[in-house]
Amino acid sequence: MVLTLRVQTVLGTVSSSELGVTLPHEHLLIDLRCAYREPEESSERALSKARVDISNLYQITRDPYINEDALTISDVGLATKEVEHFKLAGGSSIVDLTLPGIGRDPVALRRMAEATGLNITMGTGFYTEASHPVYLQRMDSDQIADRIVKEIEVGVDDSGIRAGIIGEIGCSWTKEGSVTPMEEKVLRAAARAHVKTHAPINVHPYFLGRAALTPLNILKDEGVDLHRVAVSHLDVELDVDFHRQVAQTGARVEYDCFGADWTFDRMPYPPPGRLVDCPKDSQRIEALKKLIQEGHLKQLLISHDVCMKIYLKRYGGHGYDHILKRVLPMMRAMGIDQKQIETLLIHNPADFLAY
């Protein structure tokens, strides 16, 4: 008997062979105001409440977490138009990792899938503690796991819309490690839900430094096959030695910040006030080449993590088609061949998402 591997989308299951070009880490709609940081300077408070437009785009790009409007994508019509650019460029499937607490909208995702013809896979679970709904405080890991399993096997509330991936499960920075006790509870719940359903897991580690091993160790302790886990945002800082270490655990190494080559003057996370200078796409490609040459090609995933208005084309950003239109020519010019590109964009996401 030949076993057909399926991928769960908001419109039902599809064969993994039907996915085509896939972005494994995006947000079509999101409310990231849990990361909002009210500016202390009186001169910047007007900017914090302003709408994103061409007159303030540069200022907000340098410090996006002080502007509430930048942290939300809520217009379904606009979001649909934005993701259509990806389809026109040759894309077929997209994974939306927005979760409860940061604006997940299953019905809107279904409408967008119907309007565009894209395969849209929805996430389940919970993001960083700052976004956790109050009800999580009175739930234990087994109860949270039951909720995640229900969303995968039955659907969200009465909509019947089923999640196809667990995550992105959020981890914050603490002095003791890279997760809070609440986040560890959610990680263990995600692991137990995975053991019951075999659904893949995406982890959002604290993305500065070498914090990703803590959540991976927690998941492994709960019996998760780390080959079924993707570690997000590893390309915010290009530490290839550490990425090699992550790959050696069996986990997927995800470079999902393509297009983000900006400098953030301040981040809303500790250590306070740290400047983050994102690498350029060419540097990401060089890092990918090293990992490919060392035999890790089948563990690599690439995406954009569009999670703010400033990333949308409507607001001067790179949009969801950036990899297909801008990055792929760079990859070819820098020595990544077509077969390797197809592995990155088609075969690896399909292998990761199918169960």
Here the CATH number for the domain that contains residue 267 is 3.20.20.140
**Domain extent at residue 44:** 6-353
Q: 251 in a domain, yes or no?
A: yes
Q: For the chain, how many structural domains are there in total?
A: 1
- CB–CB of 190/148 below 8 Å? yes
Say yes or no to pLDDT of 354 above 90. Answer: yes
pLDDT > 90 fraction of the chain, expressed in percent and rounded:
86
- Whether residue 222 is preceded by a cis peptide bond, meaning omega within 30 degrees of 0, is no
Say yes or no to pLDDT of 133 above 70. Answer: yes
Q: Please report the pLDDT score of residue 174 as a whole number.
A: 73
Q: 65 in a domain, yes or no?
A: yes
Q: 21 in a domain, yes or no?
A: yes
**Mean model confidence pLDDT for the chain:** 94
Say yes or no to pLDDT of 305 above 80. Answer: yes
Burial class (CB in 10 A: 0-12, 13-18, 19+), 248: exposed
Say yes or no to pLDDT of 337 above 60. Answer: yes
Q: Please report the pLDDT score of residue 273 as a whole number.
A: 56
Measured at the CA of 54, the angle between CA 53 and CA 56, to 5 degrees, comes to: 75
Measured between alpha carbons, how far is 120 from 346 in angstroms, rounded to an integer? 15
Measured between alpha carbons, how far is 218 from 200 in angstroms, rounded to an integer? 15
Q: 259 in a domain, yes or no?
A: yes
Tens of pLDDT along 78-88? 999 999 999 99
Q: 112 in a domain, yes or no?
A: yes
Q: At what angle do helices 141-153 and 181-197 cross, to 10 degrees?
A: 40
Q: 1 in a domain, yes or no?
A: no
What predicted TM-score, i.e. pTM, was given to this entire model?
A: 0.95
Say yes or no to pLDDT of 109 above 70. Answer: yes
